[in-house]
C-alpha cells in the first residue's frame, strides 16, 4: 500500500523531475475519492536551501530523517555524481527497512552509489547510460525502456519517463482506477508503449573515404531502389570484398544494416511530416511492403510505425 512518499532532493536537483514527483504523489485528490498520500520533501538538512539546476533555490521541509518509515523513497534527478555518506546511508537504511526506492532520470546514480543497483536491471536517461555502466559495472543497464520495475527498486529513463514510472508505481500499489484518475488530471496517458529508443536521434554515420562518400550520398537519394553489395561496389569501383571491408571500417556497420537504418530514418520523417499510409511509406523507403517496414521499424525504433506517428505527428508537409 502506498501511504507515504519521501521525495529526496539533492544539490543541482532538476526541477522538472522533482515537479513530477510532486504532481503524482503530492496533490490532494481526496475530493475525487482517491486515497491520501503523505509527501515529504527531504534534503540533506531540513530548512537549508539547495541550488537547483536552473538558477533557483529549493528549501526542503525535512532532512534525511524524513526517509525513515516512508513506503516509497523517490529520488529526483540531479547533475551531481558524488554524494555525501550520510545521504547514501539514509537511502540504504530506508531500503533495508522495506521502502521501495524510485529514481527519476539521473537519480539512478544515487542508487548506484548506495549499492542498490548491483546485480539488478535498471535504466537511466539514454545520455547517461554509458556513464552509469562505467561507474557501476555490476548494474544491468537497459537503455531501451522507459522504466524498470525490479521489485523494490524502480528506475526511470529521462525526464518525462519519470511520469511513466511514477504512474506505474501508483497502478501497482493502488490500482488502475486511481492511476487513471491521476493521469486524466495530468492530461497524460496512464501507460505509454515503447521505450526511449524512439526518442534517441539516429545520426547518419559520416564517411571519410573518398570512394564511399559519393556512393552513400547517391543511395540516400534512391532509397526506394534495390541495392545489392555488388551494385554498390561497382559504383564505388571496388571489388565486392574490398567494398564490404572499407564500408565496415568507415561506417562501423555492414552495407545491409546501414541501408536498413537509413530507410527507417526516412520512414520516421515521412510518418512525422506526411499523411502517407504505412504501405506508401514502405514503398517510398524501399521496404516494399508494410509488413517489412513494421518489422524493421519496431526492431530499430522500438515501437510500431502507427504508434510512432501518434507520438511525433507534426504538421503535414
**Residue ending a domain, choose from 199, 231, 246:** 199
Note whether 17 and 43 are same-domain residues. Answer: yes
**Residue ending a domain, choose from 149, 165, 199:** 199
Of 121, 141, 142, 136, residue with least CA distance to 197 = 142
| Whether the Cβ atoms of residue 182 and residue 24 lie closer than 8 Å to each other | yes
Domain containing residue 72: CATH number: 3.40.50.880
**What is the span of the domain harbouring residue 10?**
4-199
Per-residue pLDDT 10s for the chain (317 aa) are 899 999 999 999 999 999 999 999 999 999 999 999 999 999 999 999 999 988 899 999 999 999 999 999 999 999 999 999 999 999 999 999 999 999 999 999 999 999 999 999 999 999 999 999 999 999 999 998 899 999 999 999 988 899 999 999 998 899 888 988 998 889 887 667 667 766 666 655 555 555 688 888 899 899 999 999 999 999 989 999 999 888 888 777 889 988 998 899 899 889 988 999 999 999 999 999 999 999 999 988 888 999 888 877 654 43
Question: Is 160 domain-assigned?
Answer: yes
What pLDDT is attached to residue 308? Answer: 85
Question: Is 317 domain-assigned?
Answer: no
Question: Is 149 domain-assigned?
Answer: yes
Note whether 167 and 280 are same-domain residues. Answer: no
Burial 207-237 (b: 16+ CB within 10 A, else e): bebeebeebbeebeeebeeebebeebbebbe
Note whether 295 and 183 are same-domain residues. Answer: no
What pLDDT is attached to residue 188? Answer: 82
**Residue matched to cell numbers 523513497:** 73
Question: Is 18 domain-assigned?
Answer: yes
Note whether 184 and 282 are same-domain residues. Answer: no
Question: Is 148 domain-assigned?
Answer: yes
Q: What is the pTM of this model?
A: 0.71
Neighbours of 130 (CB within 10 A): 11
Note whether 78 and 128 are same-domain residues. Answer: yes
CA distance 59 to 53: 14
pLDDT tens-digit readout, 169-200: 998 899 888 988 998 889 887 667 667 766 66
| Whether the Cβ atoms of residue 139 and residue 120 lie closer than 8 Å to each other | yes
Note whether 245 and 278 are same-domain residues. Answer: yes
pLDDT tens-digit readout, 18-33: 999 999 999 999 999 9
Question: Is 207 domain-assigned?
Answer: no
Note whether 37 and 183 are same-domain residues. Answer: yes
**Residue ending a domain, choose from 199, 224, 249:** 199
Amino acid at each position: 500500500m502506498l501511504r507515504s512518499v519521501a521525495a529526496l532532493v539533492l544539490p543541482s536537483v532538476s526541477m522538472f523531475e522533482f515537479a513530477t514527483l510532486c504532481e503524482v504523489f503530492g496533490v490532494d485528490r481526496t475530493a475525487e475519492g482517491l486515497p491520501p498520500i503523505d509527501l515529504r520533501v527531504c534534503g540533506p538538512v531540513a530548512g537549508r536551501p539547495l541550488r537547483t539546476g536552473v538558477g533557483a533555490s529549493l528549501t526542503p521541509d525535512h532532512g534525511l530523517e524524513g526517509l525513515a518509515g516512508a513506503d516509497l523513497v523517490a529520488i529526483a534527478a540531479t547533475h551531481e555524481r558524488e554524494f555525501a555518506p550520510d545521504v547514501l546511508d539514509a537511502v540504504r537504511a530506508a531500503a533495508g527497512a522495506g521502502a521501495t526506492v524510485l529514481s527519476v532520470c539521473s537519480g539512478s546514480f544515487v542508487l548506484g552509489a548506495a549499492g542498490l543497483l548491483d546485480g539488478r536491471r535498471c535504466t537511466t536517461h539514454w545520455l547517461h547510460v554509458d556513464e552509469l555502466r562505467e561507474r557501476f559495472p555490476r548494474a544491468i543497464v537497459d537503455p531501451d525502456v522507459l522504466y524498470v520495475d525490479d521489485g523494490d527498486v524502480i528506475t526511470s529513463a529521462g525526464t518525462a519517463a519519470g511520469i511513466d514510472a511514477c504512474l506505474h508505481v501508483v497502478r501497482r500499489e493502488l490500482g488502475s482506477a486511481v492511476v487513471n484518475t491521476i493521469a486524466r488530471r495530468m492530461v497524460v496517458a496512464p501507460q505509454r508503449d515503447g521505450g526511449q529508443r524512439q526518442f534517441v536521434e539516429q545520426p547518419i554515420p559520416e564517411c571519410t573515404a573518398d570512394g564511399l562518400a559519393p556512393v552513400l550520398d547517391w543511395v540516400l537519394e534512391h532509397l526506394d531502389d534495390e541495392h545489392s553489395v555488388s551494385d554498390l561496389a561497382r559504383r564505388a569501383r571496388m571489388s565486392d570484398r574490398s567494398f564490404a571491408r572499407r564500408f565496415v571500417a568507415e561506417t562501423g556497420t555492414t552495407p545491409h544494416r546501414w541501408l536498413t537504418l537509413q530507410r527507417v530514418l526516412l520512414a520516421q520523417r515521412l510518418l512525422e511530416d506526411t499523411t502517407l499510409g504505412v504501405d506508401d511509406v514502405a514503398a517510398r523507403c524501399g521496404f516494399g511492403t508494410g509488413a517489412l517496414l513494421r518489422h524493421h521499424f519496431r526492431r530499430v525504433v522500438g515501437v510500431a510505425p502507427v504508434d510512432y506517428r501518434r507520438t511525433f505527428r507534426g504538421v503535414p508537409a
